[in-house]
Amino acid sequence: MSKTGALDLASGVGGKITKDEVKSAVEEYEKYHVCFGGEEETRKTNYGDMVNKYYDLATSFYEYGWGESFHFAHRWKGESLRESIKRHEHFLALQLGLKMGMKVLDVGCGIGGPLREIARFSSTSVTGLNNNEYQISRGEELNRLAGLNESCDFVKADFMKMPFSDNTFDAIYAIEATCHAPDAVGCYNEIHRVLKPGQCFAAYEWCMTDNFDPNNETHQKTKAEIELGNGLPDVRTTMQCLEALKLAGFEVIWEKDLAQDSPVPWYLPLDASRFSLTSFRLTALGRLITRTMVKALEFTGLAPQGSDRVSSFLEKAAVGLVDGGRKEIFTPMYFFLARKPLSES
């Protein structure tokens, strides 16, 4: 069951951060980013602290506006956002060939929305790996409500240093999560290590596309807004992700930016120029109402000081994402399916 009320949203801001420390946590988080004078190397060095602060601060906003699955999706005309998100998750399961009895790892699982959908769709046991305590506690509660607490579980750990033995999993996937890694090769190396030989890893990655010009100030501004609003050390290019997979030892079966052939633009839910009753909270009016509500709750003391600033940098992220999508310089769904060779050469 998703949190839907204003008070639920307010009570969740800060996650495991104490309410009187939320404002200072927001300030510390903001200082990591270019918009506030931060540097890429600092973000990469302190990625664990930065990403944890981000998800403690932002998770209740995500769940309030987006539901349990925090990701975008390839979308057909006439298809609702919720339907497209489920199909996007099913597509991943089908590409991996998931079957009953397989042991599956979800790398960077959030509160487990995709984990639960994929487990039900494929009749597999899925372990969610997450380094954020608050998201795991939410995920465990939602697993119990869904009746999946016996077949699916969560492990609190850094995906750069996984607490699993070599060759443990039959399949591994990541949905818009490994973009938080400070080093793609190091992250993919760990995934390669814990995956059984001959088995596959599939992911949707956040990437800058070939249209991104690092010397273009407007492009750089958009990239910085995306990093600030989404807790990212850096946004890699599609080619950097592809090269990192190969360096980690994977055989790439196929790869494609699925945003290129999405009949409905992936960024449409965040586009301020559109209106939708089914996704009202994501529209410009819906976000304005949420922002006003958060301001009022913070003023009355029902929401911690700093809540409005979280809402503000999430708004900035929405602007950056829509801008990046329209200019086709950014994609949240660079898809790849890669296999770990049966024998290492």
**Beta-bridge partner residues of 254:** 337
176 is catalytic: yes
On whether the CB atoms of residues 148 and 124 are closer than 8 A, the answer is no
At 25, the amino acid letter reads A
Torsions phi, psi for 116 (to 5 deg): -70, -40
- The whole-angstrom separation of Cα 233 and Cα 46 is 9
- The whole-angstrom separation of Cα 140 and Cα 128 is 10
Query: What is the DSSP pairing of strand 330-339 with strand 195-208?
Result: antiparallel
**Beta-bridge partner residues of 257:** 334
Q: How far is CA 144 from CA 102, 115, 125, 329, in A?
A: 21, 13, 15, 40
Q: E strands of the chain, at which residues?
A: 103-107, 125-130, 153-156, 169-175, 195-208, 251-257, 330-339
- The whole-angstrom separation of Cα 256 and Cα 296 is 44
Beta-carbon contacts of residue 79 (< 8 Å; ≥ 6 apart): 87, 264
Active-site entry in 63, 176, 205, 225 = 176
Strand order of the sheet with strand 153-156?
153-156, 125-130, 103-107, 169-175, 195-208, 330-339, 251-257
Among candidates 133, 131, 104, which has minimal Cα distance to 116?
104
Beta-carbon contacts of residue 254 (< 8 Å; ≥ 6 apart): 336, 337
Which positions are annotated as active-site residues? 176
